[in-house]
Amino acid sequence: MLDNQLEKIVLFMLEQQGLLAKRLSALREQQDTSFQQGSILDVSEVREAYQSVGQDLLRLLFFVEMNAIALRKILKKFDKRLGYGFTNYYVKTRANHPYSQLQQIFKHVGFGAVVGAISRNLADLQDNQGSYVSIYDQPLLHLQDPVVTSIRVAVDRLTNSTNFLHFMGKHAMIVQEDLPSPPQDDVDEQTFDLMSLLLNLMNTFLYMVNTYIIVPTADSYSLSLGAAATVCGAVIGSMAVAQMFSSVYFSAWSNKSYKRPLMCSSVLLLVGNVLYALAFDLNSISVLLIGRVFCGLGSARAVNRRYISDCVPPKLRMKASAGFVTASALGMACGPALACLFQVKFKFFRLTFNDDTLPGWFMALAWLVYLVCLCISFKEPPKPEFNILSQESNRGQKTHNTAENGLEQPLLEGSEEKKQDDDDEDDQDYDQNDDDSEENHKPATSIVAAYRLLTPSVKAQLLIYFMLKYAMEILLAESSVITGYYFKWSTSSVALFLACLGLTVLPVNVLVGNYISNMFEERQVLLTSEIIVCIGIVLSFKVGFPYSVPQYVISAVITFVSAEVLEGVNLSLLSRVMSSRLARGTYNGGLLSTEAGTLARVVADGTITLAGLWGESRLLNTTLFPSLLICISSIVATCFTYNSMY
């Protein structure tokens, strides 16, 4: 039955491609005849005709994608209800057969030919009217018609092909709609302000610098205030504790405004850094911790994500999302690097400036300058509610147009009547494709409602995110204590080491985005990365023999780099399978992933502080053991949900 339905889909697809090809051929003949006879050609009319063909091709791609999703759901339900692993058998036998109908669903040679014809003729109309210069002889095609861009995005989604830009965009965990949207009105582009976006990204960059600039000196600062070196875990973690609360209230505030939350964030971070710097002269560990709590309360990462999701035009949203991830990565690397420059000591108006306090004073000045620029240059965009209503209207219109063209045909007969009965909890990740009812598109209104939208595979991926953030935080937060105890490294050495680790983020993401994710399935990369993280943690343990610098550096690089690969692939996969109801609203997918990562940092920093009670000699193994257990748990969870991620 499934083979018969696939054959019906493929034959319909080929029939529609033939009709589109016939229309393109007629347009080309009209164009050539006009050039040969020297008659005047209505360029705008012909261009609209080509764009109309492109729109119909885009609807055909929507049809194929909906049926591909239906195929996944049918196979998954078959496995679940009959308890038999039919999916692997069916895909293996059908995908590799020389006459595979399944390959026709996921490989699109015909689509590429139609896109090429549309692109070439549109370029000919715009740039080379009446000439014989071909786009194939030009190194770069400047024309990027919106319909061609939309088709390419749809084909990429269907083939799961990716590149660095799209990989980084998904890494930002800004959940996109399931089907590529048609080009929006010019209103979004008219109201969009580039300087506001840059200021939004600058907030992300400065916050990450603020987070990691104190890591190399947190232990020495704690010692200078009379506390144990391992209190650095509490100093670093207090910021993460406060961030768990700030993420929620800033996300809710962004429903009404973007500028005010960013201003409030800057003020809180300014105050927090001043308190952090004054703690040395006040000789108070309490003031130090309060300062870091204020810094955590100023975390506006939820606003940063929300601004990109709601206020950036669709054609720029992927680039803005990639910019968000890049800004975070650069901030993570610049924080420790800046700590290397603060190796001075002097007094000014009874205030002490040294390697412990200068990070606080420097960041306070940076946030003051940023606050001034924010007040002057940031423009408040239209209310998010308006954008949401506009998106809903566009989505409804799109569905109506698709239905009119007869492309919403069910994969199996009678499936329309059985949709509600068949869709159980395990299929919520694709429920948004089943119907367009108002209820199914409402954003989650609470953390509990958002949690109910999570499928087992999504929960497993959030556990993976928790694990990798926990492992990375253990590695980074205790680096100054471990290297000082075993190797007597200076603050500059620790800062340089952490900066080099941070600089690996972008090259690793380029490698994964351009090559690895196209060569292997994301599930395979996911499981392999988890295993390598586990190996890196095991290599970090001190067992019997003296602990050496090569062992520490090699194990740290393995753990950190594999965790970075894992984070990118995990969030990219998570952004695709998470419910579209989590794409907007206060309790969105970005907030959930932020909370999971922040909770991991809190637990990791708390582990470091508690482990310090047994002394620095036992700190390493004591903190690595929970990390190893969580890593093994995430691997087990991945294996159990492997088939459900298909």
Residue 402's pLDDT band (boundaries 50, 70, 90)?
A: very low
Q: How far is CA 126 from CA 136, 512, 553, in A?
A: 15, 37, 56
| SS3 readout for 272-285 | HHHHHHHHHHHCCH
Q: What does the pLDDT average to over 502-528?
A: 82
- Work out the pLDDT band at 629, boundaries 50, 70, 90: very high
DSSP annotation of 25: H
Is residue 410 packed enough to be buried (19+ CB in 10 Å), middle (13-18) or exposed (0-12)? middle
- Full DSSP string of 392-455: HHHHHHHHHHHHHTT----SSTTHHHHHHHH--GGGGGGGGGT---TGGGSPP-SHHHHHHT--
Would residue 406 be called left, alpha or beta, if left means φ above 0 and alpha means ψ between -120 and 50 degrees? left
How many Cα neighbours within 13 Å face the side chain of 207? 29
Check: CB of residue 419 under 8 Å from CB of residue 434. yes
Q: Report the alpha-carbon distance of residue 215 to residue 235 in Å, rounded.
A: 9
| Chain segment 427-457, per-residue pLDDT in tens | 444 444 444 444 555 677 777 777 777 778 7
Stronger pLDDT, 589 or 1, i.e. the higher one: 1
Query: What is the pLDDT, as a whole number, of residue 189?
Result: 62
d(CA 120, CA 136) in angstroms, rounded, equals 9
pLDDT for residue 462 is more than 60 = yes
pLDDT of residue 411 exceeding 60, the answer is no
**CB-based contact 464:569 (threshold 8 Å):** no
- Residue 277: C-alpha distances to residues 231, 281, 355, 385, 523 (Å): 17, 8, 10, 41, 45
Q: Are 505 and 512 in contact, with CB atoms under 8 Å apart? A: no
**Whole-number average pLDDT of the chain:** 78
| pLDDT above 50 (res 50) | yes
Contact in structure between 486 and 494 (CB atoms under 8 Å): no
Q: What is the DSSP letter of 587?
A: S
Query: pLDDT at residue 524 above 50?
Result: yes
Rg (the chain; Cα; Å)? 27
Q: What is the mean pLDDT of residues 463-483?
A: 92
Q: What is the dihedral of CA 552, 557, 560, 562, to 10 degrees?
A: -130
Mean of pLDDT values over 212-223? 90
Average pLDDT estimate for 535-559: 92
More confident residue, 178 or 466: 466
pLDDT of 96 > 70? The answer is: no
Backbone angles phi, psi at 233, to 5 degrees: -60, -40
Buried b (16+ CB within 10 A) or exposed e, 329-355: bbbbbbbbbbbbebeeeeeeeeebbbb
Task: Name the percent of the chain lying above pLDDT 90.
Answer: 27
Q: Count Cβ atoms below 10 Å from residue 93 Cβ, excluding itself.
A: 11
**Spatial separation of the C-alpha atoms in residues 485 and 492, rounded to whole Å:** 15
Q: Are 201 and 304 in contact (CB under 8 A)?
A: yes
Across the range 352-358, mean pLDDT stands at 90
Three-state DSSP state, 352: strand
Q: Which 8-state DSSP code applies to residue 100?
A: -
* Predicted local confidence at residue 363, as pLDDT: 95
Residue 202: the pLDDT is 95
Give the burial class of 606: count Cβ atoms within 10 A of its Cβ; 0-12 exposed, 13-18 middle, 19 or more buried: middle
For residue 255, is pLDDT > 60? yes
Above 90 in pLDDT, residue 622? Answer: yes
Q: Looking at per-residue confidence, does 154 or 417 come out higher?
A: 154
pLDDT at 396 over 80: no
- The two tokens of residue 38 are 């020297």
For residues 509 and 165, give the distance between their C-alpha atoms in angstroms, rounded to a whole number: 10
Continuous H helices in 38-96: 43-82, 86-95
For residue 607, what pLDDT is reported? Answer: 92
Any idea what DSSP says for residue 184? P
What's residue 350's pLDDT? 83
Listed in sequence order, the residues at least 6 apart from 3 whose beta carbon sits closer than 8 Å to its beta carbon are: 94, 101
Q: How far apart are the first and last CA of the chain?
A: 21
155, 156, 145, 157: which is closest to 183 by C-alpha? 145
Task: Give residue 550's identity as a one-letter amino acid code.
Answer: P
Per-position b or e across 179-200, b if 16+ CB within 10 A of its CB: bbebbbeeebeeebeeebbbbb
Rounded Cα distance, 138 and 130, in Å: 17
Among 645, 479, 485, 498, residue whose Cα is nearest residue 573: 645
CA 217, CA 495: separation in Å to the nearest integer?
A: 9
Phi, psi of 347, deg, nearest 5 = -120, 145
CA distance 644 to 639: 10
Under 8 Å between Cβ of 474 and 631? no
Confirm if 181 and 304 have CB atoms less than 8 A apart: no
Residue 220 near residue 585 (C-beta atoms within 8 A):
no
Q: Which residue has the higher pLDDT, 211 or 441?
A: 211
For 282, residues 6+ apart whose C-beta sits below 8 A from its C-beta are: none
Alpha carbons within 13 angstroms on the beta-carbon side of residue 408 total 13
